[in-house]
Chains A and B, each alone.
Chain A
Amino acid sequence: GESVGLHLPTLSVQEGDNSIINCAYSNSASDYFIWYKQESGKGPQFIIDIRSNMDKRQGQRVTVLLNKTVKHLSLQIAATQPGDSAVYFCAEPSISGGYNKLIFGAGTRLAVHP
């Protein structure tokens, strides 16, 4: 079946450092991935996405890398700021569900220390 999971439950970094959050997926047919940020008391917010025909995609201070060989993706946050403190989820739309439902990983909590 399809599943998306994460390697690390928590990540603590110093303000200004770069953060790397990892995610593994199981379905080799998966063709689209999304990273979400969820702040306390709020719903998930879209950060960046990547299609399987790409290895890398960059946004503002964020980069997503996709390694299809080992079914792994990562989210890199440059110059991490206190406002980046949140739980980060990787997710993919379920192919068998007609792209109508998202499958989420368990999440990684990012704690940014001054």
Chain B
Amino acid sequence: GAGVSQSPSNKVTEKGKDVELRCDPISGHTALYWYRQRLGQGLEFLIYFQGNSAPDKSGLPSDRFSAERTGESVSTLTIQRTQQEDSAVYLCASSLRVSGIYNEQFFGPGTRLTVL
């Protein structure tokens, strides 16, 4: 079975432009997560989707960041008016969902975003 896939693998954009990053979770995984990883640092949680529930957006750093998910499939992370500090690797993960316990998250390879 395929793992989590993300596209593009690399994205170079100019400051002020909008970008869209895509994540395809593992089939059957109802939970989907986005994280940001700045160079030489750990992962920072951005947003979490679970089924049809309202997403947990508590990690989004500003209103320039938004994400959508269609049902239990593909998700897109959109960054509007990109800034240089948005340069990072954006990682997506998916998991099964059993409430009250930790469900192992499986990570994609990430999208490396460079804002010039």
Q: Are A106 and B59 in contact (CB under 8 A)?
A: no
Q: Are A99 and B31 in contact (CB under 8 A)?
A: no
Query: Which size class do B's interface residues fall under?
Result: 20 to 34
Scan residues 41-63 of chain B and give those whose CB is less than 8 A from a CB of chain A: 41-45, 48, 50, 56, 58-59
- Cα distance A87–B82 when bound, in Å? 28
Query: Which size class do A's interface residues fall under?
Result: 20 to 34
B residues near A97, Cβ cutoff 8 Å? 45, 48, 56, 58
Q: Are B45 and A102 in contact (CB under 8 A)?
A: yes
B residues near A4, Cβ cutoff 8 Å? 42
Return B5 CB to nearest CB of chain A, in Å: 11
A residues near B40, Cβ cutoff 8 Å? 106-107
Return B75 CB to nearest CB of chain A, in Å: 15
Q: Are A45 and B107 in contact (CB under 8 A)?
A: yes
Interface-located stretch among B13-21, B64-72, B96-104: B96-104
A-B contact count (CB 8 A): 61
Which chain B residue has the least Cβ–Cβ distance from A104? B42
- Cα distance A93–B87 when bound, in Å? 25
Please pick, from A44, A45, A100, the residue contacting B43 in the complex, using a CB distance under 8 A: A44
Provide the A85-114 mask, 1 if CB < 8 A to any CB of B, else 0.
000010101100111111111110000000
Provide the B79-94 mask, 1 if CB < 8 A to any CB of A, else 0.
0000000000001010
Q: Given A97-B56, A101-B45, A102-B45, answer yes or no on A44-B107 (Cβ-Cβ < 8 Å).
A: yes
5 nearest A-B residue pairs (beta carbon): A43-B107, A104-B42, A101-B45, A93-B102, A104-B43
Seen from chain A, the residues whose Cβ lies within 8 Å of a Cβ on chain B are: 4, 32, 34, 41-46, 89, 91, 93-94, 97-107
